[in-house]
């Protein structure tokens, strides 16, 4: 056990976050995301039973977003014609604003298959039990400065 580290960050997830370098990406995947298929070339960490917002909040408490790119946060855009609401994106926005003063300016939406291609190149995928649709998010790691 460590002081100041959110309990939801397992030893395996903490190790991965520490291993990641500047510009490496991590996917926080909802329960419908094909994590194992997309993660054949990267690490897949199971966090079943947890939601993306609670994991996002915990990760951003120890993980800086990249300041060398305009949009270090990517969301999977709703497929054209899909009549789906995405209230979880508002939750993400509030969490991101808590840790990065750029707020919504760091967030971009990318097309579904482009998201999949980016996910395949990520350092790790965190597979959650999130039930919200279009709840997948990619974070690009920044530089830790004192």
The answer to whether residue 114 is domain-embedded is yes
pTM for the whole structure: 0.96
Structure tokens at 53: 């917002």
The answer to whether residue 55 is domain-embedded is yes
pLDDT tens digits along 31-53: 999 999 999 999 999 999 999 99
Answer yes or no: is pLDDT of 55 > 80: yes
The answer to whether residue 5 is domain-embedded is no
Domain assignment of residue 17, given as a range = 11-140
CATH number where 48 lies = 3.40.1650.10
Smallest Cα–Cα separation from 56: which of 77, 34, 27, 18?
27
The answer to whether residue 3 is domain-embedded is no
Residue-level pLDDT at 145 = 85
The answer to whether residue 146 is domain-embedded is no
* Annotated catalytic residue 100: no
The answer to whether residue 31 is domain-embedded is yes
The answer to whether residue 59 is domain-embedded is yes
24, 30, 57, 66: the active-site residue: 66
pLDDT tens digits along 94-125: 999 999 999 999 999 999 999 999 999 999 99
22, 68, 105, 113: the active-site residue: 22
* Annotated catalytic residue 66: yes
* Annotated catalytic residue 22: yes
């Amino acid at each position: 056990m460590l002081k100041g580290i959110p309990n939801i960050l397992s030893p395996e997830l903490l190790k991965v976050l520490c291993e990641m370098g500047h510009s490496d990406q991590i996917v926080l995947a909802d329960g419908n995301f094909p994590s194992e298929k997309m993660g054949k070339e990267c690490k897949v960490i199971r966090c079943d039973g947890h939601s993306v917002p609670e994991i996002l909040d915990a990760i951003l408490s120890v993980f800086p977003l990249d300041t060398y790119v305009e949009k270090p946060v990517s969301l999977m855009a709703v497929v054209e014609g899909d009549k789906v609401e995405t209230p979880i994106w508002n939750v993400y926005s509030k969490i991101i604003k808590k840790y990065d003063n750029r707020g919504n300016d760091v967030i971009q939406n990318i097309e579904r298959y482009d998201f999949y291609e980016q996910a395949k190149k990520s350092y790790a995928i965190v597979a959650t039990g999130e039930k919200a649709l279009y709840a997948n998010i990619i974070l690009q790691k920044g530089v830790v400065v004192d």
